[in-house]
Structure 1
Amino acid sequence: MQDPSHTPSKRRHRASSSRVVLPALLLAAVVFVLDQAIKLLVEQTMSLNESIVLVPDLLSLTYIQNDGGAFGILGGSQTILLAGSLVAVVVVFWMLVSGPPSRLTTLASGLILGGAAGNLADRLSSGYVTDYVHFDFWYIFNLADVAIVSGVLLLLFTSFAPRRRA
């Protein structure tokens, strides 16, 4: 009797899943490495709360340690923030493997996974996230935050965009 896990349709699904998951994971790895490298550079070359004006009245490089989530919410609530990160990662992986996602969904998933991994690594290693990009009219953030927000916006776009018929 043939093992049902080795049927042609199961093999095709596993092969197509790996074709989707691998690019998302590679993008996530690039985002993670860049994020961690920039954070390390900021931490090693700047003093805490130091600010370097890049564009007067618009953009500064400002080194802070954020123990909260986006916009500083839930400051000091590490358990909630870690659980939220874990849920987000599980949901994104589920989206990747549950069906054939579009290229934009794969791109969005890689951005979200890489950003979440970067901020999660900070929280696990030090209890805070290093933030450094500061527009005078906005909160201070980092590359991981940009990746997460970009990925979420792409997912929203793909969910509201009309589907093309084959």
Structure 2
Amino acid sequence: MKQRLADYVFLFLVASAIVALDQACKLLVRVNLMQDEIFHPELWVSQYVRFVHLKNSGAAIGLLPGFGDIFMFLSALICVAVLYYYARIPHQQWLLRLSMALVLGGAVGNLVDRMQQGYVTDFISVLNLPVFNLADLSVLTGFILLFFDLWRKEQRKGMTQNAAPKGGESGNEEHSGRNLTSYTSLEDARSG
């Protein structure tokens, strides 16, 4: 019980930190930059990263503009799904729990924007990529960690299947005409 409570405290602390940071950054952008205004930080960084105030009524990175209500519903659905699924994650699977916390924090961050303003404030422009915000970055990072965790489990599963004896062998059968279980030491096996 205490372990499960600690897991949920972790979920809500990480998600709350993401929401707070995301909302604080969006507020700074809305207060200090006019719509579509671009801020170039230090000279050497500005060729890679810029801050621009964009109103996004669509999905992450500006996809499907004008479908804000649908994305508000999807964000709420993602939050419910994360909370439901999180209860089923074993405590030892910290990477999976972290990925769910990142997804929840990002989904809530953008959901707050949609509920308060009807759109999401995007402000990070890197190279020529679409403009995004910290909530988008959190969701993306969460899904990357989720897929990495699934890939890692598949790799481990494949390694254990390859290490297991094939064709129903138990590993104690005859090998080269000798019964391996009858030896008491490596030296006996070599001389046998």
Q: What is the TM-score when the length of structure 1 is the normalising length? A: 0.84
Distance 1:82 1:145 in 2: 14
- Is 1:97 aligned to residue 97 of structure 2? no
**Counterpart among 94, 97, 105 of residue 106 in structure 1:** 97
**Partner amino acid, structure 2, of 1:43:** R
Q: Which residue of 2 aligns with 1:31?
A: 18
Range moving further from structure 2, 101-110 or 137-146:
101-110
1:32-64: CA deviation from partner (whole Å, max 9, x where unpaired): 001101111111111111001233432211111
The 8 Å contact of residues 35 and 144 in structure 1, kept in 2 or not, is answered as: yes
Q: Which residue of 2 aligns with 1:40?
A: 27
**Counterpart among 80, 84, 94 of residue 70 in structure 2:** 80
Distance 1:87 1:126 in 2: 19
For the aligned residue pairs, the C-alpha RMSD in angstroms reads: 1.8
Q: How many residues align?
A: 152
Higher relative contact order (CA 8 A, sep 6+): 1
**Partner amino acid, structure 2, of 1:18:** L
Gaps of 5+ in 1: 1-11
Distance 1:107 1:89 in 2: 14
Distance 1:88 1:35 in 2: 18
Higher-Rg structure is 2
The 8 Å contact of residues 89 and 97 in structure 2, kept in 1 or not, is answered as: no
**Partner amino acid, structure 2, of 1:39:** K
1:96-144: CA deviation from partner (whole Å, max 9, x where unpaired): 1024151111111111111111100000000111111102310001111
**Counterpart among 112, 128, 135 of residue 126 in structure 2:** 135
Q: What is the TM-score when the length of structure 2 is the normalising length? A: 0.73
Deviation >6 Å, runs of 4+: none
Gaps of 5+ in 2: 161-192
Range moving further from structure 2, 144-153 or 156-165:
156-165
Determine helix, strand or coil for the equivalent of 2:40: strand
The 8 Å contact of residues 89 and 96 in structure 2, kept in 1 or not, is answered as: no
Range moving further from structure 2, 42-51 or 17-26:
17-26
Distance 1:72 1:19 in 2: 36
The 8 Å contact of residues 74 and 81 in structure 1, kept in 2 or not, is answered as: no
Range moving further from structure 2, 70-79 or 106-115:
70-79
Q: Which residue of 2 aligns with 1:123?
A: 114
1:66-99: CA deviation from partner (whole Å, max 9, x where unpaired): 1111122221112210121122112211221024
